[in-house]
Amino acid sequence: MVSRAESAAETRRALVEAAAALLDEGGPDAVTLRAVGARAGVSRGAPYGHFPDKDHLLAEVAAQSWRAIGDALDGLIADGTRSPAERLERALAGLLEVGRRRPHAYALMFTAPTEDHPDAVAEVSRTQDQFLSIVTEVVGDPLRAGPVGALLMTSVQGIVAMENRGHLTVEKWRVTGDELLTMLIDKIAR
């Protein structure tokens, strides 16, 4: 028999998954609490019992997205078969892939979470710390890791933005986003 708490947790998970799917399909405007409830197959009022408003629901989608990246970074950090530069490249390539496959979720992830959304704040902070530890392994200096990490993150942001808007084309620039990423890491890893 399923407990009330387990049922509530399952409903909450279904609502977040439904919101993420709607976001991926149609952007933030497609995410309404009514549409999320319908997509999740729950009562019309169920979303309101778990989230006070759309903003809180989207903050949870962002937190879940960061959590997934953080979990992948945990695996990379623990992977002793790859060099630090390879781990860094995999970390950035994973973020790049999210930006390519889920552009609306990616944009949502990079809106600044507020203290109203402590789970999102915690996941962003956790992931940034993991990323900085990977960068530190490559550059060897924790003080240098911050600026280098910021350079890499903003570069990925630029690559994603240009690709998603059709401005980073091989015909024009003679380079792909993946090649740019490799070039950056090669320069930093020297």
Mutual orientation of helices 142-164 and 84-101 as an angle, nearest 10°?
30
With tokens 């409903």, the residue in question is 11
- Helix-, strand-, coil-residue percentages of the chain, each rounded to 5: 80, 0, 20
Q: Tens digit of pLDDT for each residue in 97-148?
A: 999 999 999 999 988 677 888 888 899 999 999 999 999 999 999 999 999 9
Whether the CB-CB separation of 64 and 120 falls below 8 Å is answered with no
Whether the CB-CB separation of 62 and 41 falls below 8 Å is answered with no
Calpha distance 61→57 (Å, rounded): 6
Q: Tens digit of pLDDT for each residue in 18-28?
A: 999 999 999 99
User: What per-residue confidence (pLDDT) applies to 114?
Assistant: 78
Calpha distance 18→42 (Å, rounded): 11
Sign of CA dihedral 71, 77, 83, 86: positive
User: What per-residue confidence (pLDDT) applies to 141?
Assistant: 94
Q: Tens digit of pLDDT for each residue in 32-83?
A: 999 999 999 998 889 999 999 999 999 999 999 999 999 999 999 999 999 9
Calpha distance 59→111 (Å, rounded): 9
Copy the structure tokens of residue 134.
């990977």
User: What per-residue confidence (pLDDT) applies to 94?
Assistant: 95
User: What per-residue confidence (pLDDT) applies to 44?
Assistant: 83
Length of the chain: 190
Whether the CB-CB separation of 189 and 85 falls below 8 Å is answered with yes
The predicted model scores a pTM of 0.88
Q: Tens digit of pLDDT for each residue in 74-95?
A: 999 999 999 999 999 999 999 9
Calpha distance 100→149 (Å, rounded): 20
